[in-house]
Amino acid sequence: MKLIYKLLIPKVVFVVFLLVFVGFYARQALRNALFQNEFYAMQESVQRHAAANLGPSDFADPRSAGAEKHFAAFTEGISDSTTARVTIWDSEGRIIYSDLTSIIGLRSRGRPGLQGALDSAEPSYHVQAKDDEYPRQTDVGEFLDIYIPVTAAGKIAGAVEVHSVIGAVLLPMQRQVRELLYLLIVGTMLLIAVLFAVAQVVIVTPMRKVRGFVTAVESGDFDAKLDIRSKDEMGELSASLNRMAAGLRRLQELKNEFVFLASHELRAPVTVIKGYLALIEEDEIACLSKETRAYLVNIEKAGDRLGRLVDDLLEVARSEAGKLGVSVRPCDLSQVILGIIDEQKVLAEKKRISVAYDRPDSVPKVLADEDRLKEVLANLLSNAVKYSPEDTAIKVYHELRDGTVVTSVRDAGFGIPAKEQGYVFEKFFRSGTRKVRDMPGTGLGLFISKQLVEKMDGKIWFSSKEGGGTTFSFALKKA
């Protein structure tokens, strides 16, 4: 997951959770406050109008004309202050007055709140989600049943039920709360968008620059610069990384200088040793035993390997110091290949390996440094012979592709394991397989070949399968 998402997602989740919690809490607080206000206001109104209009005789004989008149006046007084429906119950839990004449005389069916009001003489209320008396009524919200006991001569004479559609008042307020939440959510989303944009500028863009810089340094470009101009931790990191790159560049320069000087100093004594060995071998007067001559041959081979190593180290030092010079001019590619094949013939014949050059009738000249091209071809062909088993074949052939001449060297050798193929052109890389590990080599030839081909404005690549041989190819522009 990207860093910016790791930073923002937890905050977004927290804000959303907080908004949901605040919305739920605000809704419940508003609902409870509305119920309490409605309850106390209704209690005060009922008690006032009951004292003014109702008496003990009304509850004792609710069918009398006076009781009917008093109940109507009481109900009318309550209705002036509320749109609720009023029902009057006696102390036995029976309806003695209602605007619905069909329910007069019915008893309570365990109505929550009614019995409690009659028994304790304390007002109570009950909230219901639908109108049980009018189930076909359109549901506009919650209903509030308020039960207020009426006393006469110090005794509970009955109770007044006020059945109000509290949702009619609550829903508009809830709608306002919901609209406020919507505004908060939209505002939060806008804030998150702004934070995302700011994070892109402050965090993501500098991090991308750091990633590009690290990639460049990893590939060996110690001249790379990280340009982050800010007076915060990111700016300090930029300065530190630039100092690190400068230090690595200096170390690289010192290493190249050491390798160049060491290689150069080694070349002279190696040349002297090889020269004296040649003189000893050519001296017919020297009385050397057969065993001594065998020792000298081994010394000469070791000297040759040391000489090749010194030459390779010098090439690497020149390449990394930017002093690996090439002089590109039109070059007869086929003649160079024939010459290299002739040079490698002795080594190939020792392993009974045939080298075939599939030479077309006409091979275009290429833009290359002839001496450097010989180095590349000699390295590729010698590797093909070295890493191929006996009694196999090597083929050299060409292709014309997009204004270039592609030259390939294909062998039937051991092949390169897939896990090692990404390191083939690196310095000092040698395969870890036993067959290759036991063979002499420095691991610098392919690195130098790649440097030389690229210096000649070409490309080099390979394809290989373990146990199925390897094909190295390089492309050079036509002259």
Question: Quick one: average pLDDT of 388-414?
Answer: 92
Mean pLDDT over residues 119-140, rounded? 60
pLDDT of residue 135: 40
* Strands, sheet with 459-464, edge to edge from the N-terminal-most edge strand: 354-358, 393-401, 404-410, 470-477, 459-464
Q: How confident is the model at residue 187 (pLDDT cuts 50, 70, 90)?
A: confident
Q: How many helices (H) and strands (E) does the chain have?
A: 12, 12
Mean pLDDT of all residues in the chain?
80
* Candidate from 14-28, 123-137, 370-384 with smallest mean pLDDT: 123-137
Q: Of the ranges 171-180, 240-249, 271-280, 362-371, which is most confident?
A: 362-371
Render pLDDT for 411-422 as a digit per residue (tens, 0 to 9). Answer: 998 888 888 888
Question: How many residues are present in the chain?
Answer: 479
The reported pLDDT for the residue numbered 286 is 58
User: What are the residues facing 367 on neighbouring strands?
Assistant: 330
pLDDT recorded at residue 471:
95
Q: Give percent of the chain above pLDDT 70.
A: 83
Question: Per-residue pLDDT averaged across 180-209, rounded?
Answer: 80
Whether the per-residue pLDDT at 235 is higher than 70: the answer is yes
Res 3: pLDDT: 63
In this prediction, residue 137 carries a pLDDT of 39
Tell whether the model's pLDDT for residue 229 goes beyond 80.
Answer: no
Region of poorest pLDDT, from 51-60, 66-75, 166-175, 377-386:
166-175
Question: What is the rounded CA–CA span in Å between residue 464 and residue 479?
Answer: 30
Structure-model confidence comparison of residues 54 and 338, the more confident one: 338
- pLDDT per position as a tens digit, 52-94: 888 888 888 888 888 888 888 888 877 665 566 788 888 888 8
Contacts by 93-102, CB closer than 8 A, 24 or more apart: 93/118, 96/59, 96/62, 96/71, 96/158, 97/62, 97/68, 97/71, 99/75, 100/133
Minimum mean pLDDT range among 135-144, 381-390, 427-436: 135-144
For position 134, what pLDDT does the model report? 44
In this prediction, residue 272 carries a pLDDT of: 76
In the predicted structure, residue 252 carries a pLDDT above the cut 80? no
Mind listing the pLDDT tens digit for each residue in 348-371?
888 899 999 998 888 899 999 998
What is the per-residue pLDDT for 395? 94
Residue 256's alpha-carbon distances to 58, 109, 115, 319, 365, in angstroms, are: 117, 102, 101, 9, 35
pLDDT score recorded for residue 18: 80
Per the listing, tokens 């359109």 go with: 138
Q: Is the pLDDT of residue 1 over 60?
A: no
352 vs 197, higher pLDDT: 352
What's residue 261's pLDDT? 65
Task: Please name every residue paired with 164 in a beta bridge, in sequence order, or none if there are none.
Answer: 144
Q: Looking at per-residue confidence, does 82 or 154 come out higher?
A: 154
Whether residue 183 has pLDDT greater than 70: yes
> Does the pLDDT value for residue 326 go beyond 60?
yes
Q: In whole angstroms, how far apart are CA 106 and each of 75, 90, 93? A: 19, 11, 9
Cα 245 from Cα 226, distance rounded (Å): 9
CA dist., res. 378 & res. 399, Å (int) = 19
pLDDT band of 136, cuts 50, 70, 90: very low
Higher pLDDT, 82 or 125: 125
Instruction: Calculate what percentage of the chain has a pLDDT beyond 90.
Output: 14
Q: What is the pTM of this model?
A: 0.48
The residue-averaged pLDDT of 335-354 equals 89
Average pLDDT on 239-248 reads 87
SS3 406: strand
For residue 138, what pLDDT band results from cuts at 50, 70 and 90? very low
Pick the more confident residue, 250 or 254: 250
Most confident of 16-25, 150-159, 239-248: 239-248
Residue 425 CA to residue 443 CA, distance in Å, equals 9
Amino acid 417 reads P
Tell me which of 100-114, 234-248, 249-263 is least confident. 249-263
Task: Report the C-alpha gap between 348 and 386 in whole angstroms.
Answer: 8
| Residue 190 confidence (pLDDT) | 85
**Is residue 163 scored above 60 in pLDDT?**
yes
